[in-house]
Amino acid sequence: MTNVVLDTSAILALLKGERGASKVAGVIADASVCAVNQAEVISHFVHLGAPLEDIQAMLGALPYTVVPADDALAWEAGGLRSVTASAELSLGDRFCLALAKRLGVTTYTADKAWRDIASEAGVKVVLVR
């Protein structure tokens, strides 16, 4: 069962052992991640030079559920543009928020700017650091 949605920054904090990793570790077994955010994590490690096979093994060991980005989620994420523009959130950020909104759960992020738009976006946000 999904109780939280993880943002890319929260997953990276966990995988890189950064501040906030323990908060993410505490909820990861009951978490979901949008496929768009999964792609951002993969892209991050590809940019660092990691082989795809290693990235796949690393992410495959994590117990979260990856949720596809469907048409309805795309509309929700796109519609959040006006709400999130002032905080300069990315498309991936909006997909994460849209998924949390769809599931009616809290989202975990390391991005402090989310605090400013959470209420207007209709999503509860937990900052991991």
| DSSP track, 9-55 | HHHHHHHTT-TTHHHHHTTGGGEEEEHHHHHHHHHHHHHTT--HHHH
- pLDDT of 1 over the 90 cut: no
How far, in Å, CA of 63 to CA of 51, rounded? Answer: 21
What average pLDDT does the segment 95-124 reach? 96
pLDDT digits 0-9 by tens, 12-25: 999 999 999 999 99
In this prediction, residue 68 carries a pLDDT of: 98
pTM: 0.95
- Report whether pLDDT(40) > 90: yes
Per the prediction, the chain carries an average pLDDT of 97
Residues 55-74: tens digit of each pLDDT: 999 999 999 999 999 999 99
What average pLDDT score do residues 23-44 get? Answer: 98
